[in-house]
Structure 1
Amino acid sequence: MKVVVRLFLFLCLFFALSSFSIKQDCTVLKNNSFTYKLGKDKVLVVFNEDKHTEYHEEGKYIIQSDIKWISECEYYLIINEATLPNFPFKLGSKLHVKITGKRGKKIYYKSTLGGNTWEGRMTLK
């Protein structure tokens, strides 16, 4: 009987704990700078409260977007300007980004645009 009671308590505790979602702290995104690798180049990414700018080839080219925050860890980027040659997206395109994890200075994310989804990471500068 003790075994059944212990098993029952364990299962109750397991289901109670698994129903809680651990909320990520994504406040580091706002008003900060990050880098990510594109090929062998590093891209600088600057987040302001409602603006996002990427600097490619040491600032020679840029991509500027407005940020529409959905939650602390999820947002849309609406592309306003792109000087990067052969940039594949049109101005006004809406990129959905969701932060999937954070480990040390690394931020992991999943992006979706036009039916294409990819994962990436950026590092706090």
Structure 2
Amino acid sequence: MKQSIKLLIATIIIGIFSSWTNKTTNECHILHKGTFKYGDSETEIIVKIKGKKHTEYHNDKKYVIESKLEWVNDCEYNMTMKKVTIPDFPYGPGDVMNVKIKRVEGKEIYYTSTVKGQSWNGKLIKIG
């Protein structure tokens, strides 16, 4: 009887963890296509993702970053910068940024980015 209860509890715990993991992974699809924003009201940056193409618009579209995406899995991608027009930007064409989605809450995507050994956390908001 005790072994049956232990087995039942273990099955429930595995089921809960499994459904939580699948839900989190499935929510990452929100970032695979669409229009997003990050930054504050003074420095809002627009990001468009479609397939393997990633474009960021800075300073009311005055400057851009164009990149190619390679998805590692549903919640992680490598972004190879192809074109950067932002003056004095610390990264340029050929640099690769790794982005890992940490969690998704509605239309808010929380992530960690790493490029050239530097990492930071951020948040994108899906707007279209």
TM-score, length-scaled by structure 1: 0.85
How far did 1:31 drift? Answer: 2.6
2:32 and 2:41 mapped to 1: Cα distance? 26
1:38 to 1:81, Cα distance in 2 relative to 1, 3 A: farther
How far did 1:11 drift? Answer: 5.2
* Structure 2 counterpart of 1:89, one-letter code: Y
How far did 1:19 drift? Answer: 5.7
Look up the SS of the partner of 1:22 in the other structure: helix
Deviations for 1:47-98, whole angstroms, at most 9, x for unmatched residues?
0101100000110000010001111111100000010111101310111011
Larger RCO: 1 or 2 (CA < 8 Å, sep 6+): 2
What is the aligned partner in structure 2 of residue 66 from structure 1? 68
What is the aligned partner in structure 2 of residue 124 from structure 1? 126
Runs (5+) with no aligned partner, structure 1: none
Q: Which of 6, 10, 24 is matched with 1:8 structurally?
A: 6
Runs (5+) with no aligned partner, structure 2: none
* Structure 2 counterpart of 1:16, one-letter code: I
How far did 1:6 drift? Answer: 8.4
1:92 and 1:108 mapped to 2: Cα distance? 25
CA RMSD of aligned residues (A): 2.2
How far did 1:7 drift? Answer: 7.0
Q: Kindly tell me the number of residue pairs found equivalent between the two proteins.
A: 123
How far did 1:37 drift? Answer: 0.5
* Structure 2 counterpart of 1:81, one-letter code: K
1:30 and 1:8 mapped to 2: Cα distance? 41
1:38 to 1:62, Cα distance in 2 relative to 1, 3 A: farther
- Does 2:109 correspond to 1:110? no
| Kept in 1: contact 2:75–2:101 (CA 8 A) | yes
Equivalent pairs: percent with the same residue? 31
Q: Which of 51, 67, 92 is matched with 2:94 structurally?
A: 92
Pair member with larger Rg: 1
TM-score, length-scaled by structure 2: 0.83
> Which stretch has the larger CA shift, 14-23 or 111-120?
14-23
